Structure 1
Amino acid sequence: MAFDLSRLGGWRELPFFSDTLPGIEARLAEVTGPVFPPRDRVFAALERTPPEAVRVLILGQDPYHTPGKADGLAFSIPRDFGGKLDSLGNIFKELHEDLGVARQRTDLADWADQGVLLLNTALTVPQGRAHAHKALGWKTLVHQVLDRLDTAPRALLLWGNPAQALGRRLRHTGHLRIETAHPSPLSAYRGFFGSRPFSQVNGWLQARGDRAINWADPEAS
C-alpha cells in the first residue's frame, strides 16, 4: 500500500517522492515484523511543519525501535507510552537547567507547530533493530529537505556526529549553528548538558524580531 502524501504541503514538490520513495515502499513491503513509526506517522515531521514555517531544525537519527514509542517526530514520544524517556529525558533535564521550566508532555507536536522541524535521518526502523534502515534511501529525502531549508537563516540544533555531518550541507551564512554531543544517556555528559540550546535559539530568534519558542508544556504558555 502506497503512502498517503496528501498532507505534505510544499514538501511534496521534492523529487524524492517520485524518484526514490517507490523503491523504499517496495523494500518496506518485504520486511517481516513490525516497522516503526506506524505507517500513517512516517512523514509526520514534514506534515506538521511545512517548509515555509521552519524556524528551527532538530535532526534525530532513526525512530525509536521499541513498540509504542515512535510517533514520527524526532525525539518525541506519545503521551501514553509510560516507559523510559532516554534521550528525551535528558533533553528535558537540559531544558530545566537552561530555562528553569519543567516539561512533562513527551509528545513534541507543539514544538513542531511553532516551526521546529523534528526530522529523523531515517524515517523507519524495524522493531528491535536500531539503524537497520539507515541505508534504505531516506538520506536522499533528508538531503533534499536540507537543501530546501538552506534558502534562509534557520536555527540548527545538531546533536551528535551524524547530525553534524549532515549539517555541513547547510551553508547559508545566516544560520545559528549549535553543535553538541547527542542527548543519549551514553553521550549527554560529553557536552550536551550545559550547552543551553533552548535559550540560545530563543535569543537568536528574538534578536531577529521573531517570537521565541515555548519549549515548556503548551499549557504553561
Structure 2
Amino acid sequence: MSKSNKPPGWSDLAFFAEDWPAIDAAIAADARQILPPDHQRFAALQLTPPEKTRVVILGQDPYPTPGHAHGLAFSVEPDVRPLPRSLNNIFKELIDDTGQAPLSGDLHHWAAQGVLLLNTALSVPAGEANGHKQLGWSRLAHQVLDLTSRRPTAYILWGNAAQKLETYINPGDHLILKSPHPSPLSARRGFFGSQPFSAVNRWLNSRGEVTINWTNPPEALK
C-alpha cells in the first residue's frame, strides 16, 4: 500500500509502518480467495476518518461468504438477502429500540455520519471465519481505539472479544456500552433489549451533537 492509498487521518498509525507490510505479503502469498476485495479492505477507515469518528462499533472479522463483506463491520452489499444472522438481529433490536431499520444491510450511511464500523481483523479467507485472526491485525484495532479515545467517543462493544479491547480505550468522557454479541448464539442473553442506538443518541444529544440517523440514508447517499 502506497502512502497515498493509506486511509486519510489514520496513515500515521504505527501499524502501517510496522505491521501492515508483513500482513500484506501474507495475504498476497495466500492462494485462497481473501475477502473483502483489496480495494475495500480499509473501507471503514477511509469512510470515517478520526476527526469525524463519533461512535465506534467493533466487529470480529469480515463475513466469509463471497459477495457479502465490503469492509464495514456487520455491513453487507445492498443486494444481499437474506441478511447475515447477526445483522438481522441488529436490525431486530434497532426496530425494537427506535421503531424502524434500514431497508438493506448496507451501513455506509452509518459510516458517513461518524460511526466507525471496524472489524478487529480486516481480512478472511472465503468460507473460513476467523481464518486470519492471528495474522497481526489486532494491533490496528488497538491503535484505532487509542487514537479515537483521545476525545469523547461512544463505544459499542458487543461480545467478549470486543469487550476485552476496552483496555485500549483511554480514560475520558466516553459512552461505553457493553452487551452480548448479536450472534444467534448469544443475542437472547442480553443483546435483545439493550437499546444501544437510542442510548448513543441520548449521549450525543446531551453533548449538543447531531444524533445518528440509524435508519434512513442521507439524500446524498441515496
TM-score by length of 1: 0.95
Q: State yes or no: 1:138 paired with 2:137.
A: yes
Matches within 5 A, 1:1-80: 2=1, 5-6=4-5, 8-80=7-79
RMSD (Å) for aligned C-alpha atoms = 1.6
Shift in CA distance, 196/67, structure 1 to aligned 2, threshold 3 Å: same
Aligned to 2:112: 113
Q: Which amino acid aligns with 1:102?
A: A
Aligned to 2:153: 154
Q: 2 CA distance for matches of 1:108 and 1:123?
A: 17
Secondary structure of the 2:146 match is: helix
Q: Deviations over 1:115-172 (max 9, x none)?
A: 0000000000001111111110111111111111120111110000000001222132
Is contact 1:152-1:172 (8 Å) kept?
Answer: no
Aligned to 2:194: 195
Q: Which amino acid aligns with 1:29?
A: A
Q: How many residues align?
A: 220
Aligned to 2:103: 104
Percent identity over paired residues: 52
Q: 5+ residue gaps in structure 1?
A: none
Q: 2 CA distance for matches of 1:97 and 1:105?
A: 17
Q: 1 CA distance for matches of 2:178 and 2:12?
A: 29
> How many angstroms does 1:5 deviate by?
5.0
Q: 2 CA distance for matches of 1:20 and 1:43?
A: 14
Q: Which amino acid aligns with 1:111?
A: W
> How many angstroms does 1:85 deviate by?
2.2
Q: Which amino acid aligns with 1:21?
A: W
Matches within 5 A, 1:153-192: 153-192=152-191
> How many angstroms does 1:15 deviate by?
1.4
> How many angstroms does 1:101 deviate by?
1.3
> How many angstroms does 1:61 deviate by?
0.2
> How many angstroms does 1:102 deviate by?
3.1
Q: 1 CA distance for matches of 2:98 and 2:108?
A: 20
Secondary structure of the 1:166 match is: helix
Aligned to 1:89: 88
Q: Deviations over 1:5-39 (max 9, x none)?
A: 52511101111111111100111122112110111
Aligned to 2:121: 122
Q: Which amino acid aligns with 2:87?
A: L
Is contact 1:60-1:121 (8 Å) kept?
Answer: yes
Shift in CA distance, 126/5, structure 1 to aligned 2, threshold 3 Å: farther
Is contact 2:109-2:218 (8 Å) kept?
Answer: no
Shift in CA distance, 208/186, structure 1 to aligned 2, threshold 3 Å: same
